[in-house]
Amino acid sequence: MTTLSERISQSAFDGSRLRVVLLLDLHEGAQKQFLEAYEHLRNQVASVPGHLSDQLCQSIENPSQWLITSEWESAPPFLAWVNSEEHVKTVQPLHNCVRDTRSLRFSILRETGKSFTGDPEPAKGHLQTSPRLGDGVVRHALTFTVKPGSEATVAKILAGYTPPESRVDEITRLRRTSLFMHGNRVVRAVEVQGDLLAALRHVAQQPEVRAVEEAINPYLEQDRDLSDPDSARVFFTRAALPAVHHVAAREHDPSAVTRHAMLYQAKQGCGMALARLLAGQDEAAADDATSPIDSSTIFQRDDIVVRLIDISGPMNARPALALGVEGARKAAVLARLLEGPADNAPRSDAEIARFLERSDMNLITDRLARDS
């Protein structure tokens, strides 16, 4: 009998095979265009490292509803593909055909029989070793940059953010929004109970949120027009900062901890390796009864890594733990993965504390959404 982990845990780094499910609802008369776009997409995806197979399915009850499933060797190659500029361009033709879409990602825990082709399952990748324990919360973040010199103005606008009503529908509620800045980079982390996509759409429709988004538009380095669905879709796709790892105590008191976010700029192509390094330390810390870290969430896209932690006590009490490098040679490995000279690795507690201070993002606002 499998024993569940006693801590809240999610991870893209367990090496298990990944099943991706994409639900689509087509516009009337768009079927031919959709099939042509899918053929192009299928050929592109087939050449992506880590991709194993895919299926295109049509509903027998409603022919306008379609399902695309794909299987991947593990989560990291899929995430690298889906967060790439190449992916943004490849899926663009689909947007003109689709009325609504929803993407779901699952690690494969158990399976029976053969693959849909009738052949033995691919040898690459393996099954998830045991179920993880969830808390019903989906964590996601967005990141974007503002024009240099506008940081103070943008921070003031964001600090005046009024949280929208927390209730989205019968199953979905907004739990928390945390906004951080580091230089001209903004990170907005959200926690949602229920359907993330429904929550994001709900937030985007709120007048107070739209007012803030319009107010910061002139200061963004990447132009966007929120009244244009294509422009908004491309912006938020590029701004997406998915959670790749989360670990937390099963029972915790949010009022007893403070929230911090650390920004790590990885060398080109090293973002996933850096996120994996930090995840390994936080998994070990979760088993340490003396650790002051209550929870850790790691977000990663390309070479941007953000680590959000809830910690009791001062950050500098255990600076290496707070930075994510407690343990032999981990600071040196971190330095090799970060942008800049590898010989800048912090070695002493004092050097690590200074490094931590430089990485710590400025908290702009951290609020629970108000109830309806």
pLDDT tens-digit series, residues 107-132: 999 988 755 555 555 456 789 988 98
Q: What pLDDT, on a 0 to 100 scale, did the predictor assign at position 50?
A: 94
Q: What pLDDT, on a 0 to 100 scale, did the predictor assign at position 225?
A: 83
How many Cβ atoms are within 10 Å of 359's Cβ, its own excluded? 20
Answer CATH for 17-107 from 1.10.760.10, 3.30.2130.30, 3.30.70.100, 3.40.1310.30: 3.30.70.100
Q: What pLDDT, on a 0 to 100 scale, did the predictor assign at position 117?
A: 53
Does residue 95 register a pLDDT over 50? Answer: yes
Q: Which amino acid is present at 202?
A: H
Report the C-alpha gap between 237 and 216 in whole angstroms.
18
Helix (H, G, I), strand (E, B) or coil at 301: strand
More confident position, 118 or 352: 352
Q: Quote the crossing angle between the two packed helices 85-95 and 229-239, to the nearest 10°.
A: 150
Q: Which of 128, 138, 80 is nearest to 297 (CA)?
A: 138
Label residue 372 by pLDDT band (50, 70, 90): very low
Average pLDDT over the chain, rounded to whole? 87
pTM, full prediction? 0.89
Q: What pLDDT, on a 0 to 100 scale, did the predictor assign at position 370?
A: 58
Q: What pLDDT, on a 0 to 100 scale, did the predictor assign at position 27?
A: 93
Tens digits of per-residue pLDDT, 159-193? 987 777 888 888 899 889 999 999 999 999 999 99
Does residue 65 register a pLDDT over 90? Answer: yes
Does residue 54 register a pLDDT over 90? Answer: yes
Q: What pLDDT, on a 0 to 100 scale, did the predictor assign at position 309?
A: 96
Helix (H, G, I), strand (E, B) or coil at 36: helix
Establish how many alpha carbons lie within 13 A of residue 65's alpha carbon, considering only the half-sphere containing its beta carbon.
6
Does residue 25 register a pLDDT over 70? Answer: yes
Residues of the chain with CATH 3.30.70.100: 17-107, 137-367
Report the C-alpha gap between 81 and 325 in whole angstroms.
28
Does residue 81 register a pLDDT over 80? Answer: yes
Q: Which of 245, 311, 317 is nearest to 274 (CA)?
A: 245
Tens digits of per-residue pLDDT, 308-344? 999 998 888 899 999 998 887 888 888 889 987 766 6
Residues near 140 by Cβ (< 8 Å), separated by ≥ 6? 189, 190, 192, 196, 200, 240, 241, 242, 243
Answer CATH for 137-367 from 3.30.70.100, 3.40.50.300, 1.10.10.1100, 3.40.50.720: 3.30.70.100
Pairing between β-strand 293-301 and β-strand 304-311 as defined by DSSP bridges: antiparallel
